Amino acid sequence: MILQTKQLTKRFGGLTAVNHVDFSIEKGKVNAIIGPNGAGKSTFFNLISGFHRPTSGEVLFKGVDIAKMPANKIAELGIARTFQTTNLFEQSTVLDNVMIGHRLRTKSNLLDAVFRTARHKREEKQCREKAFEMIEFVDLQKVADKEVASLTQEEKKRTAFALALATDPEIVFLDEPAAGVNPDETEGLAALMQKMVKKGITVCLIEHKMQMIMKLADKIMVLNYGEKIAEGTPEEIRNNPAVIKAYLGGSAIA
Ligand code: ADP
Ligand code: MG
């Protein structure tokens, strides 16, 4: 176990978006979160990555409570994420977008940049090399110098992966990585996630594409109205009556 939430809760006014959720993320595995729209999945990610403060509960990363840390500090610890709607700089190239991810982890500050110190120059070079390495990893070499605005949806998703990976994370949180891409491209993205795991990165993803999840995930948690209603292997989830009821009002999950 690399990351664990304990009784994690988030209220927005009168709405409890995440309600006392206990979940542990297994190191080196594909951990998935599923659940109907509005179930609290993205909010759960926002709590872990420091974009929202929990109302109560804990987020333990390797035993340390990170629940009150700011997002940049959490990213520095080795926790990366992508967003449900990719938030890339559309008018910049793939390479420039990915370089931003790596800069988060380098030490030059504004003064270094202004005076173009030796450290800054060295880090710029490292940053570019790292970005290229990640672009290669996600197989986007051919479009590295293209504007993000001109990419396909799938290429944008791969760019977002590369950006997350450029921070050298131990764990990545991917919010609906295959939303809006066709079945072939979905398989390509699934293969890429497996490649991340092979590289030693722990993956946690939110996804609606049930077939993909059932094939890809080692472990699944199901949220409904902010509460964890089930947790287990794909096989256990497929046959869980509460899950079937929440999803389809009674019939089996395909
Ligand atoms: P999911 O990702 O599972 O579709 P979300 O986590 O986005 O669900 O949302 C869970 C609930 O919390 C929804 O009812 C949503 O409207 C609400 N919610 C999410 N973010 C906010 C926010 N910043 N302010 C108020 N309500 C929010
Ligand atoms: Mg969501």
Out of 10, 43, 205, 247, give the residue to mutate to test ligand 1, the one with the largest number of ligand atoms within 8 Å of its CB: 43
Counting from 1 in the atom list of ligand 1, the atom nearest the Cα of 206 is 2
What are the chain's domains?
1-78+169-187+200-254 (3.40.50.300), 89-168 (no CATH)
Phi and psi angles of residue 7, each rounded to the nearest 5 degrees, phi first: 50, 40
| Tens of pLDDT, residue by residue, the chain (254 residues) | 999 999 999 999 999 999 999 999 999 999 999 999 999 999 999 999 999 999 999 999 999 999 999 998 999 899 999 998 878 999 999 999 999 877 765 555 556 666 677 777 888 888 899 999 999 999 999 999 999 999 999 999 999 999 999 988 999 999 999 999 999 999 999 999 999 999 999 999 999 898 899 999 999 999 999 999 999 999 999 999 999 888 766 544 54
Whole-number pLDDT of residue 240: 92
End-to-end CA distance of the chain: give it in Å, rounded. Answer: 30
Whole-number pLDDT of residue 13: 95
**Which residue, judged by its Cα, is nearest atom 14 of ligand 1?**
38
Tens of pLDDT, residues 171-186:
999 999 999 999 999 9
- Is the whole model's pTM more than 0.85, yes or no? yes
**Which residue, judged by its Cα, is nearest atom 15 of ligand 1?**
38
Among the bound ligands, name the one nearest to the CA of residue 36. 1
Whole-number pLDDT of residue 253: 54
Among the bound ligands, name the one nearest to the CA of residue 13. 1
Which residues lie near ion ligand 2 (Cβ < 5 Å)? Answer: 41-42, 84
Whole-number pLDDT of residue 118: 79
Tens of pLDDT, residues 48-76:
999 999 999 999 999 999 999 999 899 98
Counting from 1 in the atom list of ligand 1, the atom nearest the Cα of 39 is 3
Q: Closest Cα to residue 166, out of 137, 193, 198? A: 137
HEC sequence for 178-238: CCCCCHHHHHHHHHHHHHHHHCCCEEEEECCCHHHHHHHCCEEEEEECCEEEEEECHHHHH
Which conformational region is residue 192 in: left (phi greater than 0), alpha (psi within -120 to 50 degrees), or beta? alpha
